[in-house]
């Protein structure tokens, strides 16, 4: 799945729960036999892989437990918001079982000055507030009735837009199950919501190559 650079060196890799055994085989093939220290793998050549439990999964102290928990069926709420567009849904495992997608027009910024700029700014602010209120209503209808069944709420898109929606007092139960993972997605549409399920379910691992670990030992790992 996706890869992204990690602060302090290495890269974050997102792995689908079903592909964990194959990923471990490939890690051993590239770096040699490895030993486990909790959820950290240390390979023969010095490469390391530090695993994180995915959103909504139970606690895991070993890789065997992590694989079991990651594969366990669970319901995850999804909330994506960006530029006045919103998508909310519930995934049962890898399947989207309910959803709602909507879009409100929010005017872009203008280069005009003086009274025109102020007028456009007020209009844009009012449009943004209306979009937030409508988004909170959609989230309330789609997600709130099932909040007790959700293992987690995964969000994505524009963080400020998501935060504004979840600030609605009636959505406090959903804000309470929101997890740290934040998905980088384009303007929310139904297809984007479906594809976001993979990112919400993925197991993240921080991989550092031998050379990167040597540098960390010499100069200190900025993330430690």
Same domain, 164 and 87: yes
What's residue 223's pLDDT? 41
Q: Is the per-residue pLDDT at 22 higher than 70?
A: yes
User: What is the tens place of the pLDDT at every residue in 153-164?
Assistant: 999 999 999 999
What's residue 140's pLDDT? 97
Residues in the chain: 224
Q: Is the per-residue pLDDT at 17 higher than 70?
A: yes
Same domain, 149 and 197: yes
Same domain, 10 and 31: yes
Same domain, 7 and 107: no
Same domain, 25 and 129: no
pTM of the model: 0.84
What's residue 133's pLDDT? 87
Same domain, 169 and 121: yes
Residue 20 lies in a domain: yes
Mean pLDDT score across all residues of the chain: 88
89, 96 contact by CB (below 8 A): yes
200, 154 contact by CB (below 8 A): yes
Domain with residue 16: its CATH number is: 3.30.310
Chain centroid, CA 208 distance in Å: 21
The parent domain of residue 180 ranges over: 75-201
Same domain, 194 and 146: yes
pLDDT above 90 covers what percent of the chain?
Answer: 76
Domains: count for the chain: 2
Residue 64 lies in a domain: no
User: What is the tens place of the pLDDT at every residue in 196-219?
Assistant: 999 999 999 999 998 766 544 433
């Amino acid at each position: 799945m996706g890869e992204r650079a990690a602060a302090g060196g290495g890269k974050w890799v997102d792995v689908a729960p079903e592909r964990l055994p194959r990923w471990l085989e490939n890690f051993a093939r590239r770096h040699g036999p490895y030993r486990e220290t909790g959820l950290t793998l240390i390979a023969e050549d010095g490469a390391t892989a530090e695993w994180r439990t995915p959103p909504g999964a139970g606690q895991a102290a070993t890789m065997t437990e992590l694989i079991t928990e990651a594969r366990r069926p669970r319901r995850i709420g999804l909330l994506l918001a960006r530029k006045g567009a919103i998508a909310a849904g519930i995934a049962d495992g890898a399947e989207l079982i309910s959803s709602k997608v909507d879009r409100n027009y929010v005017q872009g910024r203008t280069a005009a000055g003086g009274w025109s700029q102020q007028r456009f700014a007020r209009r844009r602010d009012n449009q943004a507030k209306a979009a937030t209120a409508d988004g909170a209503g959609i989230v309330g209808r789609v997600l709130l009735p099932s909040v007790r069944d959700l293992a987690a709420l995964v969000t994505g898109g524009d963080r400020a837009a998501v935060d504004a929606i979840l600030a609605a007092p009636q959505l406090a139960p959903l804000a309470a199950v929101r997890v740290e993972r934040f998905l980088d997605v384009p303007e929310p549409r139904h297809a984007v919501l479906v594809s976001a399920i993979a990112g919400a379910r993925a197991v993240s691992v921080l991989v550092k190559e031998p050379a990167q670990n040597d540098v960390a030992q010499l100069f200190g790992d900025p993330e430690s």
